Amino acid sequence: MAINIAILGFGTVGSGVAETLDINKDVISKRIGQEINVKYILDIRDFPDSRFADLVTHDADEVFTSDIKIAVETIGGARIAYEYTKRALSAGISVVTSNKELVSTHGPELIEIAYQNNCCYYFEAAVGGGIPIIRPLYKCLAANKITKIAGIVNGTTNYILSQMKNEGIDFDSALKQAQANGFAEANPSADIEGIDAQRKISILSTIANDGAYIAPESISAEGISAVTTADMDFAASIGCDIKLIALYEAGDKPVVYVAPTLVDKSNLLYNVCGVFNAIMVEGNSLGQAMFYGQGAGTLPTASAVCGDILEVAATDGKPAENRSWSKESVEITPYDEIKADIVIRVDSSKAVDGYEASVLSDEAVLVKGIKHKDIADLVAKTGAKSWMHYLK
Ligand code: HSE
């Protein structure tokens, strides 16, 4: 017996899904007791050189009125992908996706439509590429209260920061290298301005927050385009490295933000370099666990998408319980009110009154628990050259 599926969008990830299902079809059919058959590849383009060329169709009506049980949405964006996802789910066709933009902006509605139509909307690949993180949060860690998540969830920016550090080059040169190596997109703004990380931490935070939805636009996000080689040198001088960190801390009003951060050598995230991602999850029973691996790329991301396909197949499309997201976004701590640990770059003989502070070097002082809204004052008062978040 075979389960028919359609791949919507035959780009980087979609082509990897077809490839993975093909090269691993023997083990897949053995594991779930049935074959996964790619019946259609829906795309506006043709792929005459692909060995899957015969499966390509441009006719969405043909796909959505066929006997497919699963649609693999690897189109990206929140326009056509949104329309097709709603169409599939409304027809009782389960959808699996790597589309973090769509999940983070329309997750509440799409998950609800899936429940109403007794099918699944799964998105393991939307965060951390090939790293298992969504299902572990929902299943393996279900007995925990998740207290904190700190992650490097964007490979492009991590690659750029690693190149700046290792080769002593500036941001623009490192970005050009990332583009030349196919890591950054031609328009890299969603990556470098922290928008991609904002979407991913929105998804993780909502799950950690028991489905109380935290919309991406409510999350403050600062990217890495302002990070200089002087910042990198400064970080190294105090035993730190600069990483783009996406953070969630549980609470009545959770703390969630994305910011370039000085990560201390003692933290495992310090050693996460290049395009790799890592997500530290803290649970009240678990303590801390680290999920590390390939955060992007054709086959790693396809690996996660295919895991969802197999899950849907093995459960006959019955949606997993307790995965609803609230319709409205819940309140999080306003950015100004968040208490943060920061390092200010300042002559360390300068007094930092009113805060718990410790000297890290002649020109670095760690200030603990300062509200964001008070940082500008402190910087002005001490004449600090700069400040940055700090993670130990
Ligand atoms: N642009 C993303 C990144 C791709 O660089 O991590 C994977 O989501």
Report the DSSP beta bridge partners of residue 32.
none
* Ligand 1 nearest-atom number relative to CA 200: 8
In the predicted model, is pLDDT for residue 184 greater than 90?
no
- Is there a contact between 135 and 128 (Cβ–Cβ < 8 Å)? no
Distance CA 183, CA 128 (A): 15
Strand, coil or helix: what is 69? coil
- State the average pLDDT over residues 265-279: 97
Q: What dihedral do alpha carbons 318, 320, 326, 330 form, nearest 10°?
A: -160
* Nearest alpha carbon, ligand 1 atom 7: 296
In the predicted model, is pLDDT for residue 186 greater than 80?
no
Which residues are known to be catalytic?
Answer: 200
129: CA distance to ligand 1 center in Å? Answer: 8
- State the average pLDDT over residues 113-142: 98
DSSP line for 70-107: EEEE---SSSHHHHHHHHHHHTT-EEEE--HHHHHHHH
* Ligand 1 nearest-atom number relative to CA 277: 6
Q: Which amino acid is at 301?
A: T
What Å distances lie between residue 335 and 219, 245, 257, 273, 375, CA to CA?
Answer: 8, 15, 8, 28, 12
List, for residues 364-374, the tens digit of each pLDDT value: 999 999 999 99
298: CA distance to ligand 1 center in Å? Answer: 11
Lookup result for tokens 């006959």: 316
Domain range summary for the chain, segments of one domain joined by +: 3-129+298-314, 134-290, 335-391
Distance CA 18, CA 99 (A): 17
Mention every residue, 6+ apart, whose C-beta is less than 8 A from residue 61.
none
* Ligand 1 nearest-atom number relative to CA 183: 5
* Nearest alpha carbon, ligand 1 atom 4: 296
* Ligand 1 nearest-atom number relative to CA 154: 6
Q: How many C-beta neighbours within 10 Å does residue 302 have?
A: 27
pLDDT at 350: 82
Pocket of ligand 1 (CB under 6 A): 129, 154-156, 191, 196, 295-296
Residue 181's pLDDT band, with cuts at 50, 70 and 90, is: confident
Residue 118's pLDDT band, with cuts at 50, 70 and 90, is: very high
CA angle (331, 258, 182) in 5-degree steps: 135
- Is there a contact between 66 and 4 (Cβ–Cβ < 8 Å)? yes
In the predicted model, is pLDDT for residue 264 greater than 80?
yes
32: CA distance to ligand 1 center in Å? Answer: 30
* Ligand 1 nearest-atom number relative to CA 153: 6
CATH topology of domain 134-290: Dihydrodipicolinate Reductase; domain 2 (3.30.360)
DSSP line for 235-293: HHHTTEEEEEEEEEE-SSS-EEEEEEEEEETTSGGGG--TTEEEEEEEETTTEEEEEEE
- State the average pLDDT over residues 201-230: 98
pLDDT at 355: 94
Tokens coding 117: 């139509």
Distance CA 258, CA 269 (A): 15
Mention every residue, 6+ apart, whose C-beta is less than 8 A from residue 229.
164, 168, 169, 170
Distance CA 208, CA 254 (A): 10
* Ligand 1 nearest-atom number relative to CA 296: 7
Tokens coding 298: 């054709």
197: CA distance to ligand 1 center in Å? Answer: 8
38: CA distance to ligand 1 center in Å? Answer: 26
Q: Where are the alpha helices (DSSP H) in 7-59?
A: 12-23, 25-32
Residue 240 dihedral angles phi and psi, to the nearest 5°: -125, 170
Mutation pick for ligand 1 pocket among 154, 187, 298 (CB with most ligand atoms within 8 Å): 154
In the predicted model, is pLDDT for residue 244 greater than 80?
yes
Lookup result for tokens 């059919």: 29
Distance CA 264, CA 173 (A): 25
Q: Average pLDDT, whole number, for the chain?
A: 97
In the predicted model, is pLDDT for residue 185 greater than 80?
no
pLDDT at 1: 81
191: CA distance to ligand 1 center in Å? Answer: 7
The proportion of the chain whose per-residue pLDDT surpasses 70, expressed as a percent, equals: 100
Q: Which amino acid is at 377?
A: D
113: CA distance to ligand 1 center in Å? Answer: 27
Instruction: Name the DSSP class of 331.
Output: P
Residue 353's pLDDT band, with cuts at 50, 70 and 90, is: confident
Give domain 3-129+298-314's CATH number out of 3.30.200.20, 3.40.190.80, 3.40.50.720, 3.90.1150.10. Answer: 3.40.50.720
List, for residues 27-43, the tens digit of each pLDDT value: 999 999 999 999 999 99
- State the average pLDDT over residues 91-97: 98
CATH topology of domain 335-391: Alpha-Beta Plaits (3.30.70)
Burial class (CB within 10 angstroms; exposed 0-12, middle 13-18, buried 19+) of 348: middle
What is the 3-state composition of the chain as percent helix, strand, coil, each rounded to the nearest 5? Answer: 40, 25, 35
Lookup result for tokens 């003989």: 349
Mutation pick for ligand 1 pocket among 162, 191, 299 (CB with most ligand atoms within 8 Å): 191
* Nearest alpha carbon, ligand 1 atom 2: 154
Mention every residue, 6+ apart, whose C-beta is less than 8 A from residue 176.
none
